[in-house]
Chains A and B, each alone.
Chain A
């Protein structure tokens, strides 16, 4: 069994806020062969505190995308990228373990994702972050193949809406069961 791994991130800063259990991701690009949805662990974030997000990627049946670290050199990794935004640091990302699939055309089983996968994002809001609603641009980059066709690498862009609050009573935990199960 492959273990999940954590990628420490220093590059990206992020304002985040969330209203509902399932965040309206508003994809801006074309979701080709998959759809994305976001869950947040809190509906508001205090400055200086942390929050988690879960990106749920549902891949169309019959298609697969490469894992975060493909086992064939130079293949396009599935990855999430964020635009630099002042005030928030992305602390880590966790990608799910890959599924080893023997494919008709490949002598080596490929490490791919199929079905539904979850990518965990863990971020921290800066102490001096000002309260308010913010939108964080995210991008999921991937490359999909079926048994008959390989598509060119592509990306789907979507926004993560976040609310930075200044009172503890304005923060509620949401989707905890799902996040806790994932952390086990």
Chain B
């Protein structure tokens, strides 16, 4: 009897597990459907078939969006209600706000929208939530859509406190002021919104409202100039030096875009562009040049504008919507439709900004008859962003013989590291090791990574690690951030740009390396000779890294292979001091490979006992793979001399560990 009960229990358990798997499969299938009508039908079927499914909430949430987009007001409201019912009351604040906003934006179910927004505000007040201002903004907007303009403006003035330079708060306030007949105030507010990057539709409103306020052209120009100058001065008056140049660069694009004082705008944008040098951050290069292009285009120099934009295209991040919009617009204005479409599509790879989409779709439809091909083209571009041919450097050395050191801090469970990992793979294809020496340190950020060593973690902290991925070139140029695989090509371009800056740097020491592979060890001989380029002779260290050229391990970010993974920093994270006031420094180290493997195994067997393992990790029982043993035919040594004060790398060198016993 007991056995029968157990069998029944087991069967029920299997059934429940099986049913959970079925509803998950059905949900995945439904959400993968592209056609909205079919997707809607599939989701409705799912909630009927699996009324107790834990995916019911998410299904109703998607049904709300689908019905709303189709204009089915009652069905949208029903779905919203059912979605909210699946949530604990204390978790509804953000969903109330989101649904209220979606309805208000669509202009549907406005009474329900107001009720939801009001409820969200109540919860936010009780919680003293940081989202309170945003929620008030939603409620104010709902008032506006209901025609209750005075209440909208009153509430928005409360919401905007602390958000006076947020374009969304400003644009909404401008709408409400305008609706209440306060046109001058609305113009000032929308101008400020435009300065802080409000969408293109508000540019149209600024121009339209200006014309309504001052029908006379000359007076209107004066009015616009007065408002724009006032906004610009509010941002620039307190600044000096590089910050002033940067803010004026921003102001220049703003002024040019609205056709105000283009002469001053050109002067400021040119000055900012002229301030760029080899050590300028990539962001400044892209922003300053892009703004100069905007000004030049406004001053009828579209060809020059285009040249500038094209020159920085590879550096422009897929997340930098303004760049793609500007490039696309100039192509459009110069009647280059195909390239305009290309620019807009590139602006949609990582994000889906409405201002780009609204430019792309009509143009695409005009060119190709419909917008049907956009999704497939975007998929193809995303694939190209993740999988691309890097090409080749074409030379075996830099002009000066400098070997550039590229260090990457990454993690196998780090999603944003995926693009950087792929980019570094591409760098290793593009540059020979006699030009670029690569080391990749793995760290337990955000999740456990079996290639982490304690020295890697120490080195991450030595560079004051701000997060992963972080790429450091020559110890001096540190680039934080990556993204999903689709932005890998951009990351490669940005890293290449950083590397180019160091190609003409002169090595300050000459390093020669001998590597001998014994039965169970590797013997490394290093000879360092300072040369005539040496700037400072004190406070240098030598680092020697034993790297595995390729380790197979797939973490949660899906990257299956990791190149130049640091398995041991021979002299620890701090390196060994090298006194360069002497003529030559030589040293020899023998690395016992079983000992290295043991330290790897210890780390993998007892990760929580290691200094590199942060407190408060969730339960951890097993690694996804077991890269415990070194692939002895797949090792290399990277050595470099680094200044501890400036972190500058004086020279680096790379040597494969010979697969066969013997000496290279």
- Chain A positions within 8 Å of B, measured between CB atoms, are 1-2, 4, 22, 35, 37, 39, 56, 58, 66, 69-70, 72-77, 79, 81, 96-97, 100, 103-108, 114-116, 118, 141, 143, 145-153, 175, 177-178, 181-182, 184
Contacts and interface: CB of A to CB of B under 8 A. Distances in A.
B415 A145 contact: yes
A118 B445 contact: no
- Counting chain B CB atoms within 10 Å of each CB, the highest count among A35, A77, A152 belongs to A152
B465 A37 contact: no
A108 B483 contact: no
Interface string B416-433: 111000000000000000
A73 B445 contact: no
Contacts of B557: 105-106
B465 A149 contact: no
Given A1-B54, A1-B88, A115-B93, A149 B127 contact: no
Contacts of A22: 128
B480 A149 contact: yes
A73 B446 CA distance: 11
Interface string B113-143: 0000000000010111111000000000000
A56 B132 CA distance: 13
Contacts of B460: 152
A151 B464 CA distance: 12
Nearest to B557: A105
Contacts of B57: 1
Contacts of A148: 319, 416, 481-483
A91 B126 CA distance: 24
Contact of A35 (B54, B130, B465, B614): B130
Given A22-B128, A56-B128, A74-B618, A143 B446 contact: yes
Nearest to B129: A116
B475 interface: no
A73 B415 contact: no
Contact of A97 (B88, B413, B414): B88
B138 to A, nearest CB: 13
Given A2-B54, A74-B444, A184-B89, 4 more contacts: A58-B131, A66-B446, A75-B617, A141-B615
Interface of B: 54, 56-58, 86-91, 93-94, 124, 126-131, 319, 411, 413-418, 443-448, 460, 465-469, 480-486, 556-558, 607, 614-622
B465 A56 contact: no
A165 B448 CA distance: 47
A35 to B, nearest CB: 6
B129 A56 contact: yes
A181 B482 contact: no
Given A72-B556, A100-B58, A106-B557, A152 B618 contact: no
B448 A178 contact: no
28 contacts: A1-B54, A4-B88, A22-B128, A58-B130, A72-B413, A72-B447, A73-B618, A104-B415, A104-B484, A105-B418, A105-B484, A106-B415, A116-B94, A116-B130, A143-B446, A145-B446, A146-B416, A147-B415, A147-B483, A147-B484, A149-B468, A150-B414, A151-B445, A152-B443, A152-B465, A153-B614, A181-B89, A182-B89
A74 B620 CA distance: 5
A76 to B, nearest CB: 6
A147 B416 contact: yes
B129 A73 contact: no
Given A69-B618, A75-B446, A116-B93, A106 B88 contact: no
- Counting chain B CB atoms within 10 Å of each CB, the highest count among A72, A74, A148 belongs to A74
Contacts of B126: 175, 177-178
A37 B90 CA distance: 16
Given A58-B131, A72-B447, A74-B448, A149 B54 contact: no
Nearest to A102: B31
Contacts of A96: 88, 90-91
A107 B616 contact: no
A116 B618 contact: no
Contact of A150 (B130, B468, B607, B621): B468
A182 B86 contact: no
Given A56-B128, A118-B90, A118-B127, A105 B58 contact: no
Contacts of B620: 73-74
B390 to A, nearest CB: 21
A114 B97 CA distance: 14
Contacts of B86: 1
Contacts of A70: 618
A108 B417 CA distance: 16
Nearest to B449: A74
Nearest to A67: B618
A58 B480 contact: no
Q: Which 10 A-B pairs have the closest CB atoms?
A: A105-B415, A58-B130, A74-B448, A104-B484, A74-B620, A149-B467, A115-B94, A116-B129, A148-B481, A153-B614
A44 B170 CA distance: 43
B448 A73 contact: yes
A47 B223 CA distance: 69
B596 to A, nearest CB: 23
A73 B619 contact: yes
Contact of A116 (B87, B88, B127, B483): B127
A37 to B, nearest CB: 5
A73 B620 CA distance: 5
A2 to B, nearest CB: 7
A108 B556 CA distance: 8
A35 B57 CA distance: 28
B91 A75 contact: no
A181 B558 CA distance: 41
B46 to A, nearest CB: 16
Nearest to A107: B558
A80 B183 CA distance: 51
A155 to B, nearest CB: 8
A165 to B, nearest CB: 25
Contacts of A69: 618
- Counting chain A CB atoms within 10 Å of each CB, the highest count among B131, B467, B486 belongs to B467
B618 A149 contact: no
B292 to A, nearest CB: 26
A133 B129 CA distance: 27
Nearest to A3: B88
B385 to A, nearest CB: 12
Contacts of A74: 413, 444, 447-448, 607, 617-620
A152 B89 CA distance: 32
Nearest to A34: B130
Contacts of A75: 413, 446-447, 617-618
Contacts of A39: 127-128
A72 B558 CA distance: 13
Given A1-B87, A56-B129, A58-B130, A150 B417 contact: yes
Contacts of B448: 73-74
A143 B616 CA distance: 10
B617 A152 contact: no
A92 B202 CA distance: 51
Contacts of B128: 22, 37, 39, 56
Contacts of B58: 100
A73 B622 contact: yes
Contacts of B607: 74
Contacts of A181: 89-90
A72 B557 CA distance: 11
B97 to A, nearest CB: 9
Given A37-B128, A152-B465, A184-B89, A77 B445 contact: no
